[in-house]
Amino acid sequence: MGCWSLADRVSGLRPTAVNRILQQVRQLEGEGRSLVSLMRGQPDTPTPTHIVEAAIRALRQGRTGYPDNRGEPDLRRAVAEKLRRDQGLAYDPDREILITDGATLGVCAALGALVQPRGDVMLPDPIYDAYAAPIALWGGQVAPVPARVRAGRFTLDRRGFEDSWRTSPAPILVNTPWNPVGTVLSREELVDLMGFAAEHDCPVISDEIYESLVYDGRRHVSPAAVSAVARERTIVVNSLSKTYAMTGWRVGYCAGPEEIIRAMLLVLQQSSRGPATFVQDAAACALNSEQDCLRRMAAEYQARRDRVVERLRGIPGVEPMVPEGGLFVMVDIRGLGKSSEEVCHFLMRAAGVVVLHGAAYGPGGEGTLRVSFAAGGETLERGLDRLREGLTRLANGARLQSS
């Protein structure tokens, strides 16, 4: 027993599923087991050279002092221009944009500015499991909005929101493309969502971190872009982590009406004064340069997605769901008649491949596995061999083992 009497709020915090499983992976690897990980959402492509060069130039120019807490003006202007170019959205870089340390702090600052004590945050189920902890940290609680699977695709509909709504104004937190399920919400779905939000006076926090990874000719639409009214109640959260393979640079941004951005800045200043100045210069370079690298990355990840789906087809009781965007294939394993956690455990211990159980993302994810194609090449091929073999063994009646 230690001597620390920890703050009660800590009891509501949990490590993400990825971090929990990583501990097990390290332990097994320490025992000499060979594991292939198809778990993480970290692109394996390097940050494009022109972005790295911009950071080096900025460092050489001595851009190492405290940043403007709102974000360096050049980067805020680059973000405003990007949102105009991609979504037709106009934001004032001086008042309506905030630079954050990745989307993680963007979401955290938005929740900090909006969540009331014991207040609800409406959250789709299943969804990225790192949202629940900051909601708890700010004293709020999750009101789950169950997703429905229609035609092999997870969707949200108005009825789901109506059923889980309890009080107003409860912030709604969504992400599109949607981690883990891979749905890219269509304009019609977003109009529906924003209609509900307007009717119940709910602000919307929209995490759009996978926006550039959309497949088969789809286009990402921001909820803020569906109407002028929608823009007024939406906080757009984004980062350069996935789009430019910059996960370790810790740089992202938010856009929204002046009042909420001002409140978020106050929240953010209590934990961060923004990403390093030279990192912000590199981020401005990324957003201002030609965007060919994004098309190349999307084509590469689409090819990997196709490979995962192709390799996992034809196993009895197993059906890969084709994602419209993002870095993950959800695999429907309900036909195996075992829980997703048991199946993951078996796959890790008996087949040597690490994937995540869908239930880690909420009860609505039960019956699925999340397979990442963020790693490609040899890793993906070896991982898929092991996954196929492990799932086939289960389909043929192999017993689950726990050792």
Ligand X SMILES: Cc1ncc(COP(=O)(O)O)c(C=O)c1O
Nearer to ligand X, 213 or 336 (CB): 213
Q: Which residue, 86 or 389, is less far from ligand X as judged by CB? A: 86
Name which of residues 234 to 293 contact ligand X (CB under 6 A).
Answer: 239, 241, 247, 252
Residue placing its CB nearer to ligand X in the complex, 315 or 360 = 360
Find the binder of ligand X among 179, 183, 212, 277 (CB under 6 A): 179
Location of structure tokens 């202007």: 77
Q: How far apart are CA 238 and CA 224, in angstroms?
A: 13
Query: 153 burial class (0-12, 13-18, 19+ CB within 10 angstroms)?
Result: middle
Tell me the CA distances in angstroms from 110 to 80, 159, 238, 395, one per residue in order.
Answer: 18, 26, 12, 45
CB 181 within 8 A of CB 323: yes
Residues 188-207 that bind ligand X (CB under 6 A): 207
DSSP 317-350: T-EEE--SBSSEEEEE-GGGTS-HHHHHHHIIII
Minimum CB separation from ligand X for residue 374, in Å? 9
Minimum Å gap between C-beta 229 and ligand X is: 25
Which is nearer to ligand X, 282 or 318 (by Cβ)?
A: 282
Two structure tokens written together for 322: 């084709």
Closest to ligand X by CB, 298 vs 398, is 298
Residues 64-103 that bind ligand X (CB under 6 A): 102-103
Between CA 86 and CA 88 the distance in angstroms is 6
CB nearer to ligand X: pick between 14 and 313: 14
Total site size for ligand X, rule CB under 6 A:
13
List 225's β-bridge partners, or say none: none
Which residues does 218 contact at the CB level (< 8 Å), separation at least 6? 184, 324, 325
171 forms part of the interface with ligand X (CB under 6 A) = no
Residue among 37, 47, 104, 176 that touches ligand X (CB under 6 A): 104
Least distance to ligand X, CB of residue 96, Å: 20
Told to check if 120 binds ligand X by CB under 6 A, we report no
C-alpha span between 176 and 182 (Å, rounded): 8
Return the number of the residue (241 or 340) whose C-beta is nearest ligand X.
Answer: 241
Distance of CA 400 to the CA centre of its chain: 31
Residue 372 Cβ vs ligand X, minimum distance, rounded to whole Å: 10
Q: Before 126, cis peptide (omega within 30)?
A: yes
Contact 356, 17 (CB under 8 A): yes
| Smallest separation, CB 238 to ligand X (Å) | 8
d(CA 218, CA 209): 16
State which residue, 55 or 351, has the beta carbon closest to ligand X: 55
- Residue nearest to ligand X as judged by C-beta position: 102
The residues in 39-58 that bind ligand X, with binding defined as CB under 6 A, are 41
Q: How far is the CB of 384 from ligand X (least distance, A)?
A: 21
209 is a site residue for ligand X (CB under 6 A):
yes
User: From the CB of 201, what's the least distance to ligand X, in Å?
Assistant: 25
- Give whichever of 123 and 351 is closer to ligand X, judged by the CB atom: 123
Question: d(Cα 52, Cα 325) in Å, to the nearest integer?
Answer: 26
Question: Applying CB under 6 A, which of residues 91, 128, 138, 346 lies at the interface with ligand X?
Answer: 128
The single residue listed with the structure tokens 């800045």 is 265
Q: CB of residue 240 vs ligand X: minimum separation in angstroms?
A: 7
Which residues sit at the interface with ligand X, rule CB under 6 A?
Answer: 41, 102-104, 128, 175, 179, 207, 209, 239, 241, 247, 252
